[in-house]
Amino acid sequence: MIDLIKKLPKAELHLHIEGTLEPELMLELAQRNSIDIPYSTVEDIEKAYNFTDLQSFLDIYYEGASVLIKEEDFYSLTWEYLLKCKENNIVHTEIFFDPQTHTQRGIPFYTVIKGITEALNDAKDELGITSQLIMCFLRHLSQEECFKTLNEAIEFKHDIIGIGLDSSEIGNPPSKFKEVFKKAREEGFKIVAHAGEEADCSYIVEALDLLKVERIDHGVQVINSKSLIERLIKEQIPLTVCPNSNIELKVFESYKKHNIKELLDLGLNVTVNSDDPAYFKGYLNQNFINIYKNLNLSKEDIVKLVRNSFNASFIDEELKKIYLEKVDKILESF
């Protein structure tokens, strides 16, 4: 089964590019850009990865992102992740990036997106990996600040397929951003949002009804609402679940307590993703292996989760068909 997990082609739909910043690269970029960070070794950084909740992670996440200054830094960051995609048999990835994390530090929007997109384009040519880019608003900031960022993003519509919402969830409900997402929809962007990670089901309902999302990022708290479960099954709104992340941030006590198998068995459109893998002990295959080992997942469960990843993606039907046929070919050999 572990061999099958590794060999199956997959899509990843919930991945923060800033969350792929490995300690080695963080130290290298800090030195290259003369940025003072409170760590001098890889071990120092890894010791800091002892999170108690979402906010304790975000504090370190933003500290790490401070080493990203130049276009080449964003290229290096993205390219390192794409090499991990090759290792993990990720053939398509839909990447989140947080421009406000950088523009607030005086880094131009153009610098961020140019470095990322150049790496994505090179990966398509050299590694055969297709990708799409989703820009996220930081929900701890104001809607007014998000409007400014959206206006910058509109200039790069050819590079950005969707708009998302991330960062500190509790106290920053989707309703806070209703108007900026309305404008994003009018501009033709796909819409996704983090909801129901730490906050209750009302955040998922708001994301659906007010933001009109096409995917819910995380969404594991849906288990607490029978009516919402029924709605999500009926509408087949995808949930981009991130098992390692949920354990590291104490959303669940352990992998055995994780509800992804339960959600899948209920008929929800669930996918597996790695979220911020440099911080959460593992890329996509490791997430699959952890839930397989702890939740008694069958071969059918694994295959369903992999198929869901392509069907829930924003790629066209023709490319979906090609990727799903690749899944079938691997299954034939098993």
> Under DSSP, is residue 304 helix (H, G, I), strand (E, B) or coil?
helix
> Under DSSP, is residue 239 helix (H, G, I), strand (E, B) or coil?
strand
Contact 296, 260 (CB under 8 A): no
Catalytic (active site) residue 197: yes
Contact 33, 67 (CB under 8 A): yes
Residue 115 CA, chain-centre distance (Å), reads 19
Give CA–CA dist 321/109, Å, rounded: 35
Contact 260, 295 (CB under 8 A): yes
Q: What is the CA angle 87-75-244, rounded to 5?
A: 45
- CB proximity list for 42: less than 8 A, separation 6 or greater: 23, 24, 27
Please tell me which residue in 71, 197, 198, 248 is annotated as part of the active site: 197
List residues with catalytic annotation: 197
